[in-house]
Chains A and B, each alone.
Chain A
Amino acid sequence: MSHHNPTSHDAHGDSHGELGHIIPYRIYVTVFITLLALTVITVIVAKSPVFHFSAAWINVFIAILIATVKATLVAMFFMHLKYENRITVLYVFFPLFLLALLIGLLFLDNPFRDNAGRPPIPLKSSAQVAAPAQH
């Protein structure tokens, strides 16, 4: 496990405390503002007709892409992952790999099955559900 030399400082003005890595205040502020900006971008891309794609998967792909950038920023700087050792990084990527495997194998299996037995959900409302509206 890496134990930092307390006298070493890198070019960004970072410093190493007694135990962990101390990140300058301005980096936390910059990350927070970037996260807010990315949230605004997510909403604009999803709601503006300019970015409306007829293929539904493109909108989901963009939404997940932006969310992943945001989650990466949270992990790298708020959770100090950028300054952690390799075993911690492995602990992060292994469950993500398993999750990718789960979703990947679901989609390798289910779409190619005979789904005739699956009860269909009617597209026209058959129950007392109102028309889509903002509440």
Chain B
Amino acid sequence: MTSQTVTTKGPPHVHHMDAPTAYQAAKLGMWLFLATEVLLFGGLFASFALYRYLYLDSYIHASTHLNWKLGALNTAVLLFSSFTAAMAVDAAQHGDNARVRKNLYITIGCGVVFLIVKFFEYKAKYHHGLFPFFSGGSWEAVFGEYRSFFGLYYCMTGLHALHVVIGMAILIWVLRLAQRDRFSPDYYTPVEVGALYWHLVDAIWIYLFPLLYLVG
């Protein structure tokens, strides 16, 4: 670690470290947080693996109730949003705040599209009596043989949708900094760290889509 004391050109709050060290430390902190996120979702993936093994036929049948075309559409939307998030970091590395803003608008817009598609998926489930709490009767009566699959489906996609909302909030904060032209090749930590979080949300969906919508 570079530890020599230098007068920083960075923003006021990083004066206790030199700029490259502050940048590396912030990134490492986000990677550590992402590690806990992997384990948070990992518990659900482990449950899914075990219950799928125990109730295989039920899972395969329940999976056909999901609309894989909407799932594939949302996969493409999130992949594109990850691309534009990476482009926002690239723009910040070149000190182009206007291009940072443009890419973040697209990324956040993709998040909105993802949530709208997800809303219509949940709405269709509601109309087919496959939505918890509002479809009448107990969990067992509503879901019958599919209760294990749909329990995990709503937990996993619901927790993921919450992460999309949080990711959008982080990117809106980054966008506000870009509106004040705060980023330069010397300082773009918020763009990089915000994008890291957004990419994790994308990476988790990369696993959720085939497991829930395709193979069941």
Interface residues of A (CB under 8 A from B): 1, 3, 17-20, 22-23, 25, 28-29, 31-32, 35-36, 39, 42-43, 46-47, 56, 59-60, 63-64, 66-67, 70-71, 74-75, 77-80, 84-85, 87-88, 91-92, 94-96, 98-99, 102-103, 106-107, 110-111, 115, 118, 121-130, 132-135
Instruction: Verify B68–A127 contact, CB threshold 8 A.
Output: no
Complex: how many Å from CA A79 to CA B195?
8
Contact A28 B83 (CB under 8 A): yes
Q: Which residues of the partner chain A approach B140 to less than 8 Å between Cβ atoms?
A: 127
Interface of A is mostly: helix
Contact assessment for B215 and A67 in the assembled complex, using a CB-CB cutoff below 8 Å: no
Contact indicator B38/A127 (Cβ below 8 Å):
no
Contact partner of B38 (CB less than 8 A), chosen from A60, A96, A124, A129, is A96
Q: How far is the CA of A39 from the CA of B39 in the complex (A)?
A: 24
Residue of A39, A106, A129 with most chain B CB atoms under a 10 A cut-off: A129
Complex alpha-carbon distance, A60 and B48, angstroms: 12
- Residues of B near A60 (CB, < 8 A) are 211, 215
> B31 in the interface, Cβ–Cβ < 8 Å?
yes
Q: Flag if B28 contacts A91 (CB, 8 Å).
A: yes
